[in-house]
Structure 1
Amino acid sequence: MRLLVLGGTQFLSRAVAADAVQRGHEVVCASRGQSGTVPPGTTLVRWDRDQDAPAPLTDGGPYDAVVDVARQPSHVRRALAALAASPPSDPHWVFVSTISVYADDADPAGPGAGRLEDPVPDDVDLADDPDAYGGLKVACEQLVLDAAGSAVVVRPGLIVGPGDPSGRFAYWGRRAGDTGELVGPGDPASLVQVIDVRDLAAWIVTLAERRTTGTLDAVGPAMPFADLVREVAPEATVTWLPDAFLEAEGVEPWTGPGSIPVWLPRPEYDGMLAHDARPALDAGLVVRSVAETARDTRLWLESDPAARIGGITREREADLLARWRARTT
């Protein structure tokens, strides 16, 4: 298979390119080449997607499949037009969207059932309007499904693992194997789900190989938060602090330096990390354990001093535990 990866230098798109090379496929990565390197064995074609596609991309021969992770509609339009003008081929498109396309975070309903955000057809600077993200991805999905002869849309939830630039799961990866006392945020029965970037990348390559069509949530099995923490640090003592206490103490949910990552307010986010993984598993997704992901994330953190770790510090965590004990004794 000759695969075009639009990107290839960061996290998921880089993992896709690396997995495809390992399977023996010919891989071309199209990116500016400014945010990292492409995996060994791939070919880099430099392309700023705010500009028209360069000749080496369109004249380099037909592609069997394309993987795109774009979030700006103009980038998707430009890519679709460029490949339509390339030598005769019928590339299968794998468009990587997001579960943020769903408008109701309390509802775990997936493709065909979950209500979507209104599409945002024109580019938006997400630094100015981060809430536009879901609508932008809806518009990108529609462009691909309308224009590509063969396509699949995958909607990942929280992508985790080594190399994660968000720092969210790194917060938990840093705790992998810990034996001390940890904060468990909120209700231990609240459902959460993650997907390892390596598992998602491998599945995307499989979808390209099989020319799978349709729309699928790209999620691992949902589990109680208590099970996730137990897999991360099975020997640790976990003290679960109620939502109300954490909110009163100024702890933020989900992401950011003052947050406990992955924790979300309930019930308004009951559905965001509780989507049905069965359709993806039936379509070939294979997932590893959270314990393995956490272990490998910690190893990556220890090997890369520049790796980002989100969330509150250990000192802040200890202070929260002390304040909780003072309040309840």
Structure 2
Amino acid sequence: MDVLLLGGTGWLGGEVARAAVARGHAVTALTRGAGVPDGVAHVRGDRTEDGAYDAVAGRDWDLVLDVVHQPGLVRSAVQALGDRARRWVYVSSGSVYRATDDPAGDETDPLHDPLTSDHAGPEDYAGAKVACENLVLEALGDRAVVARAGLIGGRGDRSDRFGYYPAAFARAGSEAVLLPAVGETTVQTVSAADLAAWLVAAGEGDASGVYDTYGEPIAFADLVALARAAAGHQGPVHEADPDWLVAHGVGYFMGPRSLPFWLPAGHELTVTRPSARARAAGLSWRPYRRLVDEALTDERTLGFDRERRAGLTRAEELELLAALAGD
């Protein structure tokens, strides 16, 4: 197959490029910068500029893959390349789903309203992804595959979310670790490598339409137990009530001074999505223990004391543990 990646130097794009090369495909990446993975042809182009696709628009592609969330960039891409693509795979997000009281938990759940502007600000992410999906589906029809991913983890993850708990247990040693009291909450993380392999396979075959591509559902308590075992933690574990955490300035899910996997009730990512359609189409899930081990290896390499994009620093955690003990 001749594969065109719109991007390809980032985390998921890089995994897709490596997966496609490993399967024997000829891969080209259209990017603004350099540094594409080994075995990938590089075409320099800025998608915000006129003529960005000129160097790749004059030929046929077996697969075009895009992950961008700006509707204007998706619009220009499908206009320039849609007629020359046998299959178009667009990586969307579970953020497109509205939070509902009784969701079906599959691709038929209600979505946010699509963004009407070509340019999305940070607060427009959900609506922008809906708009991008619509542009791809309307332009490509049954040649389009839309993959709605939830939380992605694994090798190379720089969001610091999935790796936080393995790192927290490892850095604590025999001391205490703070967890959110989330009861029987179920969480899901898909390995970037597993998702990438499925995206390439979807482009090889006759898949079409929308697929949830979440990870395997697992109880948060079970995931934490795997992280604790991988880190060899022997110290105590203290759970804090969500209201207490909010009152003490701890944020949800991501960002500084946060706790990953902890979300407000009714958030769309709290809905369990079994991804049955993608599983039937070949999506595989590596065991969570393997995913935890990969994350812990990355965390050790990067350093537990670095500035985190998600989670608590050890100093913040100790401060909160002391406050919890005093209440």
- Check whether TM > 0.5: yes
**The residue matched to 1:275 in structure 2 has which SS?**
coil
Percent identity over the alignment? 38
CA–CA separation in structure 2 for the residues paired with 1:111 and 1:273: 9
Secondary structure at the residue paired with 1:95?
A: strand
- The change in CA–CA distance for 1:270 and 1:205 in structure 2 (over 3 A counts) is closer
Kindly provide the amino acid, as one letter, of the partner of residue 55 in structure 1.
D
What is the rounded CA distance, in whole Å, between the counterparts of 1:71 and 1:270 in structure 2? 18
The 3-state SS of whatever aligns with 1:4 is strand
Of the three residues 142, 148, 161, the one matched with 1:168 is 161
**Structure 1 residue ranges without an equivalent (≥5):** none
Q: CA deviation at 1:71?
A: 0.6
Deviation by residue 1:126-150 (Cα, 9 ceiling, x = unmatched): 2xxx231111111111111111140
Count matched residues: 317
* Letter paired with 2:261: V
Match of 2:137 among 123, 130, 145: 145
Matched, 1:293 2:280: no
Contact persistence 2:256–2:310 (CA under 8 A): yes
Correspondence 1:232 to 2:230:
no
Number of the residue aligned with 1:256: 255
Cα displacement string for residues 80-126 of structure 1 (whole angstroms, at most 9, x for unaligned residues): 111146xxx44201110001101216655345531111111323342
| 1:250-280 deviations in Å (ceiling 9; x for gaps) | 1111111111122112x22275352223222
Secondary structure at the counterpart of residue 57 of structure 1 = coil
Letter in 2 for 1:131: E
CA distance in 2, matches of 1:145, 1:82: 15
Q: Deviations over 1:289-326 (max 9, x none)?
A: 22222221222233346885522111221222232223
Distance change >3 Å, CA 8–CA 173, structure 1 → 2: farther
> SS of the counterpart of 1:137?
helix
Equivalences for residues 103-252 of structure 1 within 5 A: 103-104=98-99, 108-126=103-121, 130-149=122-141, 150-175=143-168, 180=174, 181-234=176-229, 235-236=232-233, 237-252=236-251
SS at match of 2:38: coil
Task: Decide whether the 8 Å contact of 1:99 with 1:156 is kept in 2.
Answer: yes
Which secondary structure state, in structure 2, belongs to the residue aligned with residue 58 of structure 1?
A: coil
- Distance in 1 separating the partners of 2:268 and 2:57: 45
SS of structure 2 residue aligned to 1:183 = strand
Partner of 1:77: 75
CA distance in 2, matches of 1:198, 1:241: 34
Q: Which moves more between the two structures, 279-288 or 40-49?
A: 279-288
Deviations 1:155-177 (A, max 9, x none): 00011122223222232342465
Counterpart amino acid of residue 269 in structure 1: H
Deviation at 1:9, TM superposition (A): 0.3
Match of 1:46 among 44, 47, 67: 44
Superposed CA RMSD in Å reads 2.2
Deviations 1:199-228 (A, max 9, x none): 111111111111311211110122221111
Instruction: Output the CA distance in 1 between the equivalents of 2:103 and 2:270.
Output: 6
Corresponding residue for residue 6 of structure 1 = 6
Aligned AA for 2:319? D
Question: How far, CA to CA, are the matches of 2:271 and 2:168 in structure 1?
Answer: 21
Amino acid corresponding to residue 144 of structure 1 in structure 2 = V
Structure 2 letter corresponding to 1:109: A
Provide, for residues 29-58 of structure 1, a one-character-per-residue CA deviation record: whole Å limited to 9, x for no partner: 111116xx2110001111211123343211
Is the 8 Å Cα contact of residues 158 and 193 (structure 1) preserved in structure 2? yes
2:184 partner amino acid: A
Please tell me the residue identity of whatever aligns with 1:148: L
